[in-house]
């Protein structure tokens, strides 16, 4: 049996088990809150995929296994795939993560951005930031390139609480606004940057909550598609005498 992880970092019996039923039950118990290690569950999910344990559990593929978990426990499919991505990142970079003592207290969701960060940043710096930053900060850090790598095709770049357009500082978001508001502002700014780059036009609509926003987005996409189907009218060449 492989001893997957240093027990001083994370330890739950099911993680190192070779019994598919034990691994499956451990994942389910974590979902139900019997166990609290999200990182352990994420790694177990990655094992189910990499070792094709799903077949021993009588599932055709990994997607079928995840869909069944989502159905049974009323989970969002995307969140389970995010857990899987976290586990896969831990398995891939296990040695380095164990060296820095990465564990559940370090916010495992950061691992979903680890590979991206390693492609644009220095390795030692990435692992230092991984331990120091919270999840939102590390996600922003992983997306941002080094200042001298910003190109015209990369319209928006976020570093810390500053957003850059075409390599030039455009907005600074006060840290007092909080991470949620900062994220929303940066997302809106990204839409604006893309519109500027395409010579487009942005219309702002103020809605009361996310539910209204989701409903509005669906209808807005339909309306935009209908509008863009229509050919623009040619401008008249006739002179107007006033």
pLDDT the model gives residue 240: 37
pLDDT the model gives residue 68: 95
CA distance 155 to 157: 7
For the record, the structure tokens of 126 come out as 């990435």
pLDDT the model gives residue 11: 45
For the record, the structure tokens of 198 come out as 């395409």
Indicate whether this model's pTM tops 0.85.
no
pLDDT the model gives residue 9: 41
3-state secondary structure of 162: strand
pLDDT the model gives residue 207: 80
Do 57 and 12 form a contact (C-beta atoms < 8 A)? no
pLDDT the model gives residue 49: 95
pLDDT the model gives residue 146: 55
Beta-strand ranges (E) seen in the chain are 156-159, 162-165, 168-172
All residue ranges of the chain with pLDDT < 70 are: 1-13, 34-36, 145-155, 166-167, 197-198, 228-242
28: left (phi over 0), alpha (psi -120 to 50) or beta: alpha
């Amino acid at each position: 049996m492989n001893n997957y992880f240093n027990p001083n970092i994370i330890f739950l019996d099911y993680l190192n088990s070779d019994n598919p039923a034990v691994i499956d039950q451990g994942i389910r118990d974590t979902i139900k809150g019997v166990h609290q290690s999200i990182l352990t569950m994420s790694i177990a999910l990655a094992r189910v995929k990499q070792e094709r344990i799903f077949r021993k559990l009588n599932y055709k593929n990994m997607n079928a296994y995840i869909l069944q978990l989502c159905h049974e426990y009323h989970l969002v499919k995307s969140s389970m795939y995010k857990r899987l991505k976290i586990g896969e990142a831990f398995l891939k970079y296990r040695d380095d993560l164990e060296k820095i003592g990465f564990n559940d207290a370090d916010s495992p969701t950061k691992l979903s951005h680890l590979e991206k960060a390693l492609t644009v940043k220095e390795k030692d710096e990435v692992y230092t930031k991984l331990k120091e930053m919270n999840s939102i900060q590390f996600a922003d850090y992983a997306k941002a390139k080094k200042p001298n790598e910003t190109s015209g095709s990369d319209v928006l770049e976020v570093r810390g609480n500053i957003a850059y357009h075409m390599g030039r500082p455009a907005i600074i978001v006060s840290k007092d606004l909080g991470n949620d508001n900062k994220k929303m502002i940066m997302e809106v700014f990204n839409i604006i940057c893309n519109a500027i780059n395409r010579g487009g036009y942005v219309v702002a609509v103020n809605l009361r909550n996310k539910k209204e926003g989701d409903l509005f987005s669906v209808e807005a996409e339909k309306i935009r598609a209908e509008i863009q189907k229509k050919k623009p009218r040619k401008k008249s060449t006739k002179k107007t005498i006033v």
